[in-house]
Structure 1
């Protein structure tokens, strides 16, 4: 039994819980005190380098989430009609399904993301919108061109759901987890004890390298592992260096 049982369906939760989690988790980061000693970029850099105002970022994210919710409802409707009321598998099976979904999502996003960088037309007209946030922050995690949001995140999530064979109930936990991981990768903070930094090498600093000029052709992998980068020669390791003015800086390293 889960907390929402008897109140809303698993399909409704699978559609809207990730959106609620996005704004709660990203909002938490946005409302934190400055924490300058844990920032990967100074606040001055964020103000000077970013090419899009916060309001436009919020509008862009909301548009992507509208499309995402629409696709999710259609997907859940089709799968529930085809399978009827599913039997919830054991915890072990659900964990295996989530792991499979993570691998599928990583594979889809790596190749689509990489192609959007290598194709000059797609980068100029589509993917460059995300890179207007030269200094990433939490609320901007899903700030993309609408077409990129559909292809990379929404379609990638749908494929992960279908291939893993998970139920709508399991999908609630998987998609909420994926949303939190994506937000953390863009939060711009290296906080001590952050569980995502402990368990994932593909983390805030790893993705920050990709947003820097010298790393824009590297570290395409997202949101979980760095497998494809390492296998296909696009892996750029990093080291964290303390800045004189306070805070940390993620620098490419040869390790």
Structure 2
């Protein structure tokens, strides 16, 4: 008899597996310099955290993420208690609400971590030690930041949207893909996420540069709060002499 895995367990562990699988694809693509937003030489020179340290840091954050997720699903109503499966329209609405809630939470927490010097120096700087972002460094954060920004933000979006654990499997897997994509440090032609969202790898790369630290706080989906609150920095993609593209502040 086949062993059935609950939606709660899948909602907890599938996004973690998606993170490493999707990051692995970008590691392979990153060997093609023509798609990189920064050269490999620049990555080695500017990033102060080693690749091994990044892997360990991400695994620590994901351990917290798993613990909170299991606790959240334990407290939430069980999927079996629902008399009918939600329609596609309801699921779409739940996705939209969760995206807006997550964006709002992350914008204001993220921005405050830049404004508050103590929080930036002791908490958020760990993420910005990767001046040149790469895919599997997307969740390289201080554990407190990972818990507050990503894990708690995800829990709030889940609860406010009213989605079921089954819907959460797809939403958090999608949010994971989007976060990895934003930090991949690559600009791939025909990337559908770049077509659907203005908040993309180049947009977030600007934020990771020294000149962009006070701009482009929005993540992971929209740029609405940046535009409303005056922290939006437009950019242009220009070819580098050594190959690849570079996101530079747009000229007035």
SS at match of 1:126: helix
Moved >3 Å (runs of 4+): none
Matched, 1:144 2:141: yes
SS at match of 2:55: helix
Alignment of 1:91-110 (within 5 A): 91-110=88-107
Matched, 1:189 2:174: no
Match of 1:85 in 2: 81
The Cα of 1:84 is off from its aligned counterpart by 5.7
The Cα of 1:126 is off from its aligned counterpart by 0.1
Distance 2:3 2:95 in 1: 24
Of residues 158, 163, 166, the one that matches 1:166 is 163
Match of 1:127 in 2: 124
| Pairwise CA RMSD | 1.3
SS at match of 1:97: helix
Of residues 228, 232, 238, the one that matches 1:231 is 228
Of residues 5, 15, 20, the one that matches 1:18 is 15
Matched, 1:219 2:216: yes
Segment drifting more, 44-53 vs 85-94: 85-94
Distance 1:254 1:221 in 2: 21
Match of 1:46 in 2: 43
- Please, which runs of 5 or more residues in structure 2 have no aligned partner? none
Match of 1:201 in 2: 198
Distance 1:46 1:85 in 2: 50
Q: Deviations for 1:117-175, whole angstroms, at most 9, x for unmatched residues?
A: 00000000000000000000000000000000000000000000000000000000000
Q: TM-score, normalised by structure 2?
A: 0.96
Distance 2:89 2:53 in 1: 42
The Cα of 1:27 is off from its aligned counterpart by 1.1
Q: How many residues align?
A: 250
Distance 1:43 1:142 in 2: 20
Q: Deviations for 1:223-254, whole angstroms, at most 9, x for unmatched residues?
A: 00000000000000110001111111100114
Distance 1:168 1:98 in 2: 13
Shift in CA distance, 218/194, structure 1 to aligned 2, threshold 3 Å: same
Match of 1:251 in 2: 248
Distance 1:50 1:250 in 2: 18
- Please, which runs of 5 or more residues in structure 1 have no aligned partner? none
Q: Deviations for 1:3-45, whole angstroms, at most 9, x for unmatched residues?
A: xx97211100000000000000001111236111111000000
Q: TM-score, normalised by structure 1?
A: 0.95
Match of 2:55 in 1: 58
Distance 2:232 2:85 in 1: 38
Match of 1:155 in 2: 152
Distance 2:175 2:124 in 1: 20
Shift in CA distance, 191/9, structure 1 to aligned 2, threshold 3 Å: same
Distance 1:212 1:60 in 2: 21
